Amino acid sequence: MSYVSAILTENRKKVKVWVRDKEGDRVVQEFDAPYYFYIPNDDGTERDIDNNPITRLDFQKPSDFFDARKKYQANDIKLYESDIQPHYKVLSEHFFGRDISQLHVTFFDIEVDYDKNIGFSNTENPYAPINSIALHHHHTKETIVIAVAPKNRAGFAEKDIPKDISDAAVVIICKDEKELLQVFFKEIEDTDIISGWNSEFFDVPYIYERANRVMFKGAGNKLCFDNSKAPYYREVEKFGNLQKALVIFGRVHLDYLDIYKNFEMAMKPSYKLEHVADDELPHLPKLSYSGSLYDLYRDDFEQFLRYNIRDTEILNGLEVKKKYIELAIQMSHMETSQVADVLGTIKVAECALINFCHYTEGVRVADHKAPESTGKKYDGATVIEPVIGMHEYTASVDLQSLYPGVMRSLNISPEMIMGQFAERGVAFAFIRDKVDTKVTFIVEASGEVISAPAKQWHRILVKNGWAISGLGTVFDLTKEGVIPAVLTKWFAERKEYKKKLWEAKQAGDDAMAAHWDRMQYIKKIQLNS
């Protein structure tokens, strides 16, 4: 049984989770929203990652939870897991380790008319009607195109559709845009995930705005599941500009442009759909036409329909080839995050670490403190200036899982930090070379400052089983940290999946080869994250 999504209700008392049950039906499950956190307690029966005893505090009401958290924070008492949102706690507690079943995915593309005297319509001024929406239900392998015929083709009906179009899609001709939108919402009722190309900033908000205009106020909420929350706009930085994206609830929206960019390892010279199609699906080129879409719609309505259908064929073709939405579902469900979290850089890895601590290590994690709350800042990467010019005898070396490997070798994990040398990179070089120069060590636990010759620190590090990074941070190597343990697990799993991939290929089992290829790819992405 796979979940589609989870939301915290507006009164913050319940968590709703939409799932596909064993029969393949979508149902909604409700859970009491969990409000609890942990505090240090010498008599506590649970442990944090440093093996310190802690106690869980439960609260019946959200207000009690927030009041208590604020009080403990004001008294500078360390808190654990008070910053994990209730719906993520529910996903972890009820869905971790569950089998992953198929979710229903629909690709779609809209075409919008416009007035030549006004110009192209947009989400800020959605004055022009939607005149066609093509959909492909990936779960049923069915293509549908819903369209309003141009006024100069009055009386055009399904019986007038050329055979090549009717063979490719079910065509539904509507009398007006209102009926078109009604049919569209009916078509996606059984859909869990909708996806278009650059749909985050155009197709989805445009459908929302037009539905509210031509149907009734709030009709655009049908993009969400029934009895979920109403959509809202959030600002997103895109290409250096702030743009508005519509957030929907229950039903998941994944922009395939973002999915493709996120999972495709190689950079592309262009991410226009026609260029990606030419590269990935040469048998499915984006259809061309002369003049404008305005003219195509009125002068060659049949070709206009073919054009709209082809875009969804391309999207489905990309998913058949790449399986990136399937990958997103598997990644998120393995770590009990939301499906859309795979487009970020932190959340899936964060959920993975929390679940590892809970279910493998049996410990709880401390609240995250942002740098601004501690008065500190995260240091950026060390960037080495290139030596510009022509060079002979150059080589490129690609080390497998380089960053995870470095993290494992140094045992980089918050609970393993012993302290920091004030001289940072200079201290590393001095200690490595065992020089007499004094360097200063700041103890992580107490803040104590200790100065001693670098060669003496070399002996101390070796004796204690400590490692020093190039930036002068010291880590304990005497036991494995949580983060290296997760990375070691993922690395071992990736090796095992690659072995199974090779075995499946040797056996000629294409289906299993595709499965293990996808699984090892998931681990590669997780390691890189």
Tokens of 106: 């629909």
Q: Which amino acid makes up residue 389?
A: G
Tell me the three-class secondary structure of 79-97, residue by residue. CECCCCCHHHHHHHHHHCC
The DSSP letter of residue 141 is T
Quote helix, strand, coil % in the chain, to nearest 5. 40, 20, 40
Question: Of 270, 357, 289, 298, which is closest to residue 47 (Cα–Cα)?
Answer: 357
Tokens 């104590």 belong to residue: 448
Q: Which amino acid makes up residue 407?
A: M
pTM of the model: 0.87
Q: For each successive 10 residues of the chain (529 residues), what is the average pLDDT?
A: 93 95 92 97 94 96 96 95 96 92 95 91 93 97 96 88 94 96 98 96 96 96 95 83 90 96 87 93 88 92 95 96 92 93 88 94 89 62 85 86 89 94 92 95 94 96 95 94 90 89 90 84 77
| Spacing of C-alpha 175 from chain mean position | 39
Tokens 């010019």 belong to residue: 389
pLDDT of residue 285: 86
Element (DSSP H or E) covering residue 438: strand 438-443
In angstroms, the CA 14 to CA 477 distance is 43
pLDDT of residue 523: 81
Q: Which amino acid makes up residue 434?
A: K
pLDDT of residue 518: 79
CB 246 within 8 A of CB 231: yes
pLDDT of residue 209: 97
In angstroms, the CA 511 to CA 101 distance is 16
Give strand pairing partners of 38: 56, 80
Task: Give the number of other Cβ atoms within 10 Å of residue 497's Cβ.
Answer: 20
pLDDT of residue 425: 82
Question: Of 66, 67, 86, 61, which is closest to residue 9 (Cα–Cα)?
Answer: 86
pLDDT of residue 373: 56
In angstroms, the CA 224 to CA 515 distance is 31
pLDDT of residue 396: 86
